[in-house]
Chains A and B, each alone.
Chain A
Amino acid sequence: MDAILPYLPFLLGGISVTLQITFAAIALAVPVAFVLAAGRMSRWAPARWGAGFVIETFRGTSAVVQLFWAFYVLPFFGINLSPMVCGILVLGLNEGSFFSEVVRASLKSIPPGQREAAAALHLPGFYTFRRVILPQALPVMVPPFGNALVLMLKFSALVSLVTIQDLTFRAGLITTSIGRSGEVYGIVLVIYFVMALALAAAVMVLEYYVNRAAGRDVGALRSFFSGGRSTVPAWAFWR
């Protein structure tokens, strides 16, 4: 442990890089998800195909391949992105493709009568979306958004493969200079876990406010460790 101590500030400096990438990528993923969901639900066929193509491309190939592609291949086409931009772009588009399905499902969960009533009242299209549809769809999206955020945090470790000095990359540097990989990676795992807990807790607070703002039943906060009795009785495993 003493051997690691001098390197600790350098390692902990990686936390802010990891968080920056996580938040930047999720900030990209959410609008991308909305655009792709809108494309998929569009009445105009080319928009449906385009969105479908993007979604299937990003969902069907591995994120590592996409990252390397952006890092090694794009420069050949004269597109020189910094590693940071590469990482954020790939993570954001990848997660956005997955999250677009969530957006689509929650927009579809709004009964059609809501849209019809708004049309009957002559509300303009975007106004209907903003004041009628979205406030009802948003609370449905928040729990999966929490999952996506934690996923993005874990996902962000991949950017260490394209030389971004995040937490994982710095751990690699330290272990190559002093060894002690067990301790260093052990510490890094704990740091990631604590960050994941913190993000999950933050999303629970967000969930509370979104539900309250939408005039929904707020109820008890879900516990991260999902307390509360399950529907499975303990005697199922004992008798």
Chain B
Amino acid sequence: MSGFSWDWAFAWSVLPALLEGLSVTVQATAAGSLIALPFGLLWCILRLADIPVLSFVVRFMVEFLRGTPFLVQLYFIFYVLPKYGIIFSPLATGIFALGVYSSARAAEFYRAALEAIPAGQWEASLTLGLPIGKVWTRIILPQMWPIVAPMLGNLVIAMFKDTAVLSTITVLEVVARAKDAGFQTFRYLEPLTIAGILFWIVSYSAARFLRRLEDRHAR
């Protein structure tokens, strides 16, 4: 099949729908992050706190979420929640699944950052008799933040790209709309290429922005 080429008119005609899809993608990423970042911290604390049964359960849950594909987790949640009478829209289900999956990844980042702080910092604080609240707010968190912030930034970028998986449960984000447009016209070239470019623009500029923040912090 030769002579197949890029059709600008068609490309322009699908662009508005794809941009609408992009806004859904961004919303899903933002809402998913609002679940993932705080809950990741919670899992990390519960895991490190050595609470007899709970810590083990949280540890297992985090490893399980990290060891299984997001796509299958999404299907599981999508089909199982309604059986218990919990009926969300596909978008809400997708955000929930993305948030839960990413919270497990975030938990590992928080843990890595916390454990990067030498034990001596804790011991010195103990020796000085600082109250535990002060140890956290004045000693530990200020050292932990510069380590964990870039990791969390990268996680949010990864979540942004993971939202493409939500197209499988009929969430009308970029990829779903690109596939729809392609299916109706049997021209997949323009919609899918534009979808890829949109993903690239957002994630690349976000990554650049993140690197600039990091550099500023390093100085």
Contacts and interface: CB of A to CB of B under 8 A. Distances in A.
Contacts of A66: 196
Interface in B69-115: 69-73, 75-76, 79-80, 83, 111, 114-115
Interface stretch (A34-42, A71-79, A115-123): A71-79
A20 interface: no
B196 A65 contact: yes
A78 B1 CA distance: 5
A126 interface: no
A60 B199 contact: yes
What is the predominant secondary structure among interface residues of chain A facing chain B?
helix
Interface in B198-214: 199-200, 203-204, 207
Interface size class on chain B is 35 or more
A72 B188 contact: yes
A62 B80 contact: no
A189 B101 CA distance: 13
A64 B164 contact: yes
Given A160-B71, A192-B67, A192-B68, A69 B48 contact: no
A185 to B, nearest CB: 4
A175 interface: yes
A62 B164 contact: yes
Contacts of A61: 161, 196-197, 199-200, 203
A154 B65 CA distance: 11
A78 B4 CA distance: 9
A193 B72 CA distance: 11
A161 interface: yes
Contacts of B83: 182
Contact of B71 (A69, A153, A168, A237): A168
Given A65-B192, A76-B1, A158-B165, A225 B59 contact: yes
18 contacts: A60-B204, A62-B161, A62-B199, A154-B70, A157-B71, A161-B71, A168-B69, A171-B75, A185-B75, A185-B76, A185-B80, A189-B64, A189-B73, A192-B69, A200-B67, A231-B118, A236-B48, A239-B132
Interface of A: 56-57, 59-66, 68-69, 72-73, 75-78, 150, 153-158, 160-161, 168, 171-172, 175, 181-182, 185-186, 188-189, 192-193, 196-197, 200, 224-225, 230-239
